[in-house]
């Protein structure tokens, strides 16, 4: 537990009277590929928000890279190495695709290393990132001119731009075609092999199964399963609550 | 500063009466800002407009100003609908940044004030009604009718609003729209229509509040700006969108203002409200009754 | 174009305009021009927080008045230092008083900047709407404070007698020309700062705050810190615009210094000119400022404010991108059609 990269300890979150998360315990080891699944409204995005600091959890603690994240806000956690994409894409609408990718480079990577990246380096890295997700031709377009699918790819690329230790991809593949899904999964696996720990939140079971080394299931704000994908998928409670027939 | 019990008690009473009135003034903002998230800083302009309409008709026909405002209410309701329509089409639907919406209402506030200056000039205007010069006196208390009647009417209006919001379908839909538009759609209610009704109601309250205002004190175009701070201070302090909270906060502000005016002079009164606002925003933005 | 070059070209343009104005032989041009230049600074300053970051400041008049009243306070101190200052620092005071206008400008900038920082710190952690309302509150609170501060004249106001001329080296400059020159330099400074910010890392950060603050935070942008920077710079520039005002106008009272016109114009000019670039507030200030000077003389000052208000509402509804924005769109569409 102490050498887990991310350790979520008994995290709980309410919105007024509504309990969004209750007693969530989750450990993710360095280099792991974890899949997070569950029905809509089960609290997956809320959990991500609490982990990354966009929301403050009422109970429990988030540990990352050996440090407690209490009191740190989102940008500080990003500097420490967490990055996430948003389930509903939130691009910077007055900036082009390339400029969107610049932001994490300017504000996270630069802040971390302290060394000044030259304009040429930044530009080439932006182009590289755009190419990784298949947006190379759209680098100078504005987000409003992109399709929903392209915006999700931008979300993913922007999260990657922050050069994270932990990447949380929140439904990046919604709406993608069969081959596009395969491409993104291969990309994520490749990035994982390069050392990035990844939590994948998805509804596309094919992607989740081929990607995950471990599967976690969230239902109504509680974790009901956590283990090897084959076992979790055959867990009757999981089948009843989510997979169903 | 001479501290007599009588002076003190009268200051408190005046504060309570004023507070009741302030609550009515703020009710509109509680709806538009507290529930609909529309920062209508032009609300005081509508109130002043209400005051001036009451003034003209009272001057020409001698009718009681409060009566005038009740008759004029539907007109204000439609005015509110029109304003909301423009706001919705130009800003809400385009998903535009809040910047433009704020600038729009600021422009409205400004244009209204300047037009009133051009038409009526900067002299103070007041209304004539039988009860304005009377005051109830019993014991140490002196309750001016010109403050009591507006206060009573304000409380009545608040009570009606609260009943409407909590007991009728439309009212509850309005309260729901501030929380969850999707759920509202599932209930087969059109969020835009609900918001329009709510906003129109908020402007309609301005008609009554305006008449009350000119009964309480003489009015000139710049008075509206004093009320911006009061209204938002009360709204935030009372907890956005809560009418009971608004009433409590309004009473509190009324008392503090009244005490300040009595002991330190009326020139400090505007600063009280705005000071309250700054402090509330800085330290307890979720309001007294907190969320 | 590199920044120092930009600054020098802008300065040159300003000086050429100054020279041209001299040929009119009528000082009225300078009095009117001063007002327009003042608006250039105010509009540009407002836009740094409003247009770049998306946070609306309704209290521009407050910051302007801070500048004006610091000058009044320092002027009063200078006229009778023995009355107000302890004996110990009198010799020092007598040596530095009366303070020159540029010094007053710098001091005003510092004071206004600190107030901006303070206001921001209290309210910027909340939503933009609360910040906007807080700025309104600030304006009224400050005005009430000044009204009750008899040292600077309170409600009665203060008379500030400006000298007839200023000696620059061997040359005697008429005072209004001196003030106009100060304003030219200040305008050039404001516009240069705006342009510097726009193209820098800071400018990108501001844009993300405007577009989506939550996403900005997730990307590692320290939004609170950047907002505080914007508020401080914006407030400081507005204060600097107000510093020479007492010498320009001769009589300062709270009603004038906190006037309606500053609040509405500093919003209307950038919104009409265009909020995404430094050119917008400049164009807005020149166009609207000139229009108002004409209207004040031909119709009335209340009417000219009405025009500004109506234009603001009209532009915000019909042409939200402002003049610059729509011109840019026009050229971009022509380029698309040509392809």
Q: How far apart are CA A124 and CA A117, in angstroms?
A: 11
Number of helices (H) and strands (E), helices first, in chain C? 17, 4
- Give me the residues paired with residue C165 across strands: C174
**Six token digits for residue A45:** 């995005």
For position A1, what pLDDT does the model report?
47
Q: How many domains does chain C have?
A: 1
Q: What is the mean pLDDT of residues A64-71?
A: 90
Q: What is the band of C218 on the pLDDT scale with cuts at 50, 70, 90?
A: very high
For position B185, what pLDDT does the model report?
67
Q: Which residue of A has its CA nearest to C223?
A: A75
Beta strands A222-227 and A214-219 are antiparallel
Contacts of B87 in chain C (CB under 8 A): none
Instruction: Determine, for residues C220 and A73 on separate chains, whether the beta-carbon distance falls below 8 Å.
Output: no
Closest alpha carbon to A5 in A35, A33, A36, A28:
A28
Contacts of B82 in chain C (CB under 8 A): none
- Chains in touch with A (3+ beta-carbon pairs under 8 Å) read C
Q: Over 50: is that where the pLDDT of A20 sits?
A: yes
Contacts of A93 in chain C (CB under 8 A): 211-212
Q: How far apart are CA A16 and CA B287, in angstroms?
A: 15
CATH classification at residue C145: 1.10.3470
Instruction: Determine, for residues B106 and C147 on separate chains, whether the beta-carbon distance falls below 8 Å.
Output: no
Report DSSP state, residue A114.
Answer: -
For position B85, what pLDDT does the model report?
92
Q: A52: distance to nearest CA of chain C, Å?
A: 8
Q: Are C141 and B279 in contact (CB under 8 A)?
A: no
For position A36, what pLDDT does the model report?
93
Output the pTM of the full model: 0.89
Q: A244: distance to nearest CA of chain C, Å?
A: 34
Query: Which carries the bigger pLDDT value, residue A35 or residue C24?
Result: A35
For position C220, what pLDDT does the model report?
93
For position B94, what pLDDT does the model report?
62
Residues 212-241 of A with CB under 8 A from C: none
Those residues whose C-beta lies under 8 Å from the C-beta of residue A178, and which sit 6 or more positions away, are none
Closest alpha carbon to B230 in B213, B207, B244:
B213
When CB atoms are compared, the residue of B114, B225, B278 closest to C141 is B278
Q: B108: distance to nearest CA of chain C, Å?
A: 7
| Domain region containing C321 | 3-338
Q: B106: distance to nearest CA of chain C, Å?
A: 8
For position A17, what pLDDT does the model report?
77
Instruction: Determine, for residues B98 and C133 on separate chains, whether the beta-carbon distance falls below 8 Å.
Output: no
- Choose from A4-8, C56-60, C266-270 the range with maximum mean pLDDT: C266-270
Q: C53: distance to nearest CA of chain B, Å?
A: 10
pLDDT in tens, A197-230: 999 999 888 899 999 999 999 998 899 889 999 8
% chain C with pLDDT above 90 = 47
Q: Over 60: is that where the pLDDT of A245 sits?
A: no
Q: How far apart are CA B61 and CA C319, in angstroms?
A: 43
Instruction: Determine, for residues A94 and C214 on separate chains, whether the beta-carbon distance falls below 8 Å.
Output: no
Q: How far apart are CA B108 and CA B83, in angstroms?
A: 10
Q: What is the mean pLDDT of residues C165-193?
A: 87
Q: Which residue of C has its CA nearest to A76?
A: C220
* Residues lower than pLDDT 50 in chain B: 1, 291
Q: List the single best residue of A51, A87, A90 to mutate versus C (max C Cβ within 10 A).
A: A90
Those residues whose C-beta lies under 8 Å from the C-beta of residue C108, and which sit 6 or more positions away, are C66, C67, C68, C70, C71, C239, C240, C242, C243
For position C339, what pLDDT does the model report?
64
Q: Which residue of B has its CA nearest to C322?
A: B100
Instruction: Determine, for residues C140 and B271 on separate chains, whether the beta-carbon distance falls below 8 Å.
Output: yes
For position B96, what pLDDT does the model report?
57
Query: Which carries the bigger pLDDT value, residue C41 or residue C85?
Result: C41
Q: How far apart are CA A90 and CA A55, in angstroms?
A: 16
Contacts of C122 in chain B (CB under 8 A): 278, 281-282
pLDDT in tens, C52-62: 998 989 889 99
Average pLDDT, rounded, for chain A:
89
- Chains in touch with B (3+ beta-carbon pairs under 8 Å) read C
Domains, chain A, with CATH or none? 1-81+165-245 (3.40.50.300), 92-163 (no CATH)
Those residues whose C-beta lies under 8 Å from the C-beta of residue C40, and which sit 6 or more positions away, are C187, C190, C191, C281, C282, C285, C286, C289
Report DSSP state, residue C153.
Answer: T
When CB atoms are compared, the residue of B104, B118, B229 closest to C316 is B104
For position B291, what pLDDT does the model report?
42
When CB atoms are compared, the residue of A53, A93, A104 closest to C219 is A104
When CB atoms are compared, the residue of C210, C220, C276 closest to A78 is C220
Residue with tokens 């998928």: A233
Ordered by start, the domain boundaries in chain B are 5-220
For position C143, what pLDDT does the model report?
87
- Burial call C45-66: b when 16+ CB within 10 Å, e when fewer: bbbbbbbbbbbbbbbbbbbbbb
Instruction: Determine, for residues C207 and A95 on separate chains, whether the beta-carbon distance falls below 8 Å.
Output: yes
Instruction: Determine, for residues B98 and C129 on separate chains, whether the beta-carbon distance falls below 8 Å.
Output: yes
Residue with tokens 């956005």: B240
Q: List the single best residue of C218, C226, C335 to mutate versus A (max A Cβ within 10 A).
A: C218
Q: Which residue of A has its CA nearest to C215?
A: A90
Q: Which residue of A has its CA nearest to C222?
A: A75
Q: C288: distance to nearest CA of chain B, Å?
A: 15
């Amino acid at each position: 537990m102490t050498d887990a990269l991310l350790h979520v300890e008994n995290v709980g979150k309410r919105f007024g009277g509504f309990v969004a998360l209750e007693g969530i315990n989750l450990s993710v080891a360095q280099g792991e590929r974890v899949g997070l699944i569950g029905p809509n409204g089960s609290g997956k995005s809320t959990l991500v928000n609490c982990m990354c600091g966009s929301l403050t959890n009422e109970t429990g603690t988030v540990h990352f890279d050996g440090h407690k994240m209490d009191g740190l806000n989102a940008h500080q956690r990003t500097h420490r190495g967490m990055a996430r994409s948003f389930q509903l894409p939130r691009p910077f609408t007055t900036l082009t695709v390339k400029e969107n990718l610049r932001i994490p480079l300017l504000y996270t990577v630069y802040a971390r290393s302290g060394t000044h990246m030259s304009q040429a380096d930044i530009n080439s890295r932006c182009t590289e990132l755009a190419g990784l997700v298949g947006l190379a031709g759209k680098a100078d377009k504005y987000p409003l001119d992109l399709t929903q699918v392209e915006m999700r790819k931008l979300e993913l690329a922007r999260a990657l731009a922050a050069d994270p230790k932990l990447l949380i991809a929140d439904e990046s593949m919604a709406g993608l075609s069969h081959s596009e899904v395969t491409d993104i999964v291969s990309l994520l696996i490749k990035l994982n092999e390069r050392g990035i720990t990844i939590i994948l939140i998805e509804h596309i079971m094919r992607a989740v199964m081929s990607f995950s080394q471990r599967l976690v299931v969230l239902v109504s704000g509680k974790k009901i399963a956590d283990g090897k994908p084959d076992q979790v998928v055959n867990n009757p409670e999981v089948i009843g609550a989510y997979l169903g027939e | 500063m001479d501290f007599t019990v009588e002076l003190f008690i009268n200051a408190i009473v005046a504060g309570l009466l004023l507070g009741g009135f302030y609550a009515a003034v703020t009710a509109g903002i509680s709806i538009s800002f507290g529930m609909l998230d529309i920062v209508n800083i032009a609300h005081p302009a509508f109130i002043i407009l209400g005051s001036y309409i009451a003034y003209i008709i009272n001057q020409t026909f001698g009718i009681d100003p409060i009566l005038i405002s009740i008759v004029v209410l539907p007109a204000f309701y439609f005015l509110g609908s029109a304003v909301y329509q423009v706001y919705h089409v130009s800003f809400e639907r385009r998903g535009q940044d809040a910047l433009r919406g704020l600038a729009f209402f600021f422009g409205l506030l400004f244009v209204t004030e300047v037009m009133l200056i051009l038409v009526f000039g900067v002299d103070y205007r007041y209304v004539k009604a039988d009860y304005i010069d009377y005051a109830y006196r019993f014991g140490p208390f002196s309750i001016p009718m010109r403050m009591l009647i507006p206060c009573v009417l304000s409380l009545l209006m608040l009570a009606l609003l609260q009943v409407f919001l909590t007991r009728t379908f439309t009212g509850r839909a309005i309260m729901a729209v501030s929380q969850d538009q999707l759920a509202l759609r599932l209930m087969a209610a059109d969020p835009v229509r609900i918001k329009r009704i709510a906003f129109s109601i908020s402007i309609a309250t301005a008609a009554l509040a305006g008449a009350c205002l000119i009964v309480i004190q003489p009015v000139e175009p710049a008075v509206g700006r004093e009320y911006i701070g009061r209204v938002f201070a009360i709204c935030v302090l009372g907890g956005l969108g809560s009418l009971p909270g608004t009433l409590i906060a309004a009473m509190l502000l009324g008392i503090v203002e009244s005490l300040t005016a009595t002991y330190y002079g009326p020139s400090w009164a505007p600063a009280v409200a705005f000071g309250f606002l700054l402090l509330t925003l800085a330290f307890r933005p979720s309001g007294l009754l907190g969320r | 174009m590199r920044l120092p070059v930009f600054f020098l070209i802008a300065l040159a343009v300003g000086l050429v305009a100054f020279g041209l104005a001299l040929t009119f032989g009528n000082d009225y041009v300078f009095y009117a021009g001063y007002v327009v230049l003042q608006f250039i600074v105010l509009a540009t300053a407002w836009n740094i927080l409003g247009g770049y970051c998306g946070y609306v400041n309704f209290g521009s008049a407050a910051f302007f008045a801070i500048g004006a009243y610091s000058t009044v306070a320092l002027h009063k101190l200078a006229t009778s230092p023995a009355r107000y200052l302890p004996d110990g620092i009198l010799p020092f005071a007598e040596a530095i008083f009366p303070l020159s206008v540029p010094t007053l400008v710098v001091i005003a900038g510092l004071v206004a900047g600190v107030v901006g920082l303070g206001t921001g710190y209290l309210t910027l952690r909340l939503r933009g709407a609360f910040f906007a309302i807080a700025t309104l509150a600030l304006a009224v609170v400050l005005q009430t404070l000044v009204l009750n501060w008899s040292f600077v004249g309170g409600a009665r106001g203060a008379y500030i007698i400006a000298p007839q001329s200023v000696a620059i080296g061997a040359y005697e400059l008429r005072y209004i020309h001196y003030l106009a020159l100060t304003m030219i330099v200040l305008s050039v400074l404001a516009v240069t700062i705006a342009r510097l910010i726009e193209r820098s890392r800071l400018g990108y950060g501001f844009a993300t705050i405007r577009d989506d603050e939550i996403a900005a935070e997730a990307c590692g942008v320290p939004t609170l810190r950047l907002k505080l920077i914007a508020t401080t710079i914006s407030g400081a520039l507005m204060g600097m615009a107000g510093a020479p005002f007492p010498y320009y106008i001769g009589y300062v009272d709270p009603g004038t210094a906190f006037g309606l016109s500053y609040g509405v114009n500093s919003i209307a000019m950038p919104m009409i000119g265009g909020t995404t670039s430094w050119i917008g507030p400049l164009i807005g200030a020149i166009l609207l400022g000139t229009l108002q000077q004409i209207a004040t003389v031909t119709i009335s000052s209340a009417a000219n404010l009405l025009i500004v208000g109506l234009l603001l509402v009209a532009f915000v509804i019909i042409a939200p991108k402002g003049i610059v924005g729509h011109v840019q769109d026009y050229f971009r569409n022509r380029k698309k059609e040509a392809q």
